[in-house]
């Protein structure tokens, strides 16, 4: 599509310049450029487990040890990773435009580390670095725990191999010692529930106050533009914000290497933009 209107950078720059209220929905693809795996498609596997199957209450209840190894590994990867030029470009846009709100589905803390103003960043799916109690009747939460390893028994997830060799833990044929419940840390408040990562699993509600804040922002005034960056937009309620923004008048700009694939092109409405490129490469140019 040579210089088709949907991927015309000059035309986009003009739209961006005339946009004041801007919303963004971020997904795992933004952090893929920092080396963090996505959920769906290649890389969405951990040992033999489908990452979307691990991201459930059921998986945690069935085998909290395996679930914790998965999250401990992702905590370690996240701490080693650096925010990329995409995170930085978005954070810079937020700093110069107070009417820009970012909804991130990512739990890796990379937007925060790129100095994205916290009042303009809503973490829809929580954080790998918040720890809470798995007992539903207990409200214990510890924000910003960056311990790595998280605890002694999870140390195998925090190993760095020489010259980038694959971690034995990731090899499904490498047997790992089963971690039992009594080896994992308990909640210090109720002494009953296991500690768990402060992320939102399938079937769990997103934070109600955060949802109300987002709804209020969307209702307040029309929206000029909405970015959809590095997400397959399959998970709700997150993906639902795209249609909500559209109803408030927003043009949609999608940044995703698959955005210009034939199967995706039908989603592009007149006035929308789609850039079939990597977020870290594309965002600095689009937001310059």
Of 10-18, 26-34, 173-181, 209-217, which part binds ligand BJW (CB under 6 A)?
26-34
Contact 77, 36 (CB under 8 A): yes
Q: Which is nearer to ligand BJW, 23 or 200 (CB)?
A: 200
185 makes contact with Zn ion (CB under 5 A): no
- 125 is annotated as an active-site residue: yes
- Of the candidates 208, 96, 195, 91, the residue with the CA atom closest to the CA atom of residue 153: 195
Tell whether residue 133 is among the known ligand binding residues.
yes
Decide the pairing of beta strands 141-142 and 126-133: antiparallel
Within positions 86 to 115, which residues make up the interface with ligand BJW, using CB under 6 A?
A: 105, 107
Q: Which of 48, 205, 262, 266 binds ligand BJW (CB under 6 A)?
A: 205
What tokens were used for 262?
A: 């034939």
**Partner from ligand BJW, Zn ion, none contacting 68, C-beta within 5 to 8 A by type:** none
127 makes contact with ligand BJW (CB under 6 A): no
Measure the CA–CA gap between 202 and 183, rounded to whole angstroms.
Answer: 26
Cα 258 from chain centre: 18
Measure the CA–CA gap between 120 and 99, rounded to whole angstroms.
Answer: 8
Tell whether residue 187 is among the known ligand binding residues.
yes
Q: How far is the CB of 164 from ligand BJW (least distance, A)?
A: 19
**Partner from Zn ion, ligand BJW, none contacting 158, C-beta within 5 to 8 A by type:** none
125 makes contact with ligand BJW (CB under 6 A): yes
Of 28-36, 171-179, 215-223, 267-275, which part binds ligand BJW (CB under 6 A)?
28-36
165-176 CB burial, b ≥16 within 10 A, e <16:
eebebeeeeeee
CA-angle at 175, arms to 159 and 35, nearest 5°: 40
What lies within 8 Å, CB to CB, of 6 at 6+ separation is 260, 268, 272, 273, 274
List interacting residues with ligand BJW (CB under 6 A).
27-29, 32-33, 38-40, 44, 52, 55, 105, 107, 125, 199-205, 230-232, 234-237, 256-258, 278-279
Active-site positions? 125
């Amino acid at each position: 599509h040579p210089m088709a209107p949907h991927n015309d950078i000059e035309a986009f720059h003009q739209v961006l310049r005339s946009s004041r209220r801007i919303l963004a929905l971020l997904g795992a693809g933004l952090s893929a450029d920092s080396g963090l795996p996505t959920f769906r498609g290649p890389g969405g596997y951990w040992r033999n487990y489908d990452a979307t199957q691990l991201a459930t209450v059921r998986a945690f209840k069935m085998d909290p040890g395996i679930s914790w190894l998965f999250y401990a590994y992702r905590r370690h990867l996240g701490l080693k990773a650096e925010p990329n030029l995409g995170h930085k470009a978005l954070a810079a846009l937020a700093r110069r435009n107070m009417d820009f709100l970012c909804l991130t589905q990512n739990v890796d803390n990379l937007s925060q580390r790129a100095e994205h103003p916290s009042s303009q960043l809503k973490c829809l799916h929580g954080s790998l670095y918040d720890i809470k109690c798995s007992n539903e009747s207990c409200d214990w939460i510890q924000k910003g725990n960056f311990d790595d390893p998280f605890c002694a028994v999870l140390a195998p997830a925090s190993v760095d191999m020489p010259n980038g060799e694959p971690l034995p833990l990731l090899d499904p044929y490498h047997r790992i010692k089963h971690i039992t419940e009594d080896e994992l840390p308990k909640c210090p408040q109720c002494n009953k529930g296991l500690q768990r990562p402060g992320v939102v699993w399938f079937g769990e509600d997103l934070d109600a106050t955060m949802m109300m804040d987002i709804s209020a922002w969307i209702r307040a005034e029309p929206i000029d533009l909405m970015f959809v960056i590095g997400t397959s937009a399959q998970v709700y309620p997150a993906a639902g914000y795209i249609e909500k923004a559209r109803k408030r008048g927003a043009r949609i700009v999608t940044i995703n290497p698959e955005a210009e694939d034939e199967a995706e092109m039908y989603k592009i409405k007149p006035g929308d933009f789609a850039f079939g490129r990597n977020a870290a490469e594309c965002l600095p140019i689009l937001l310059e």
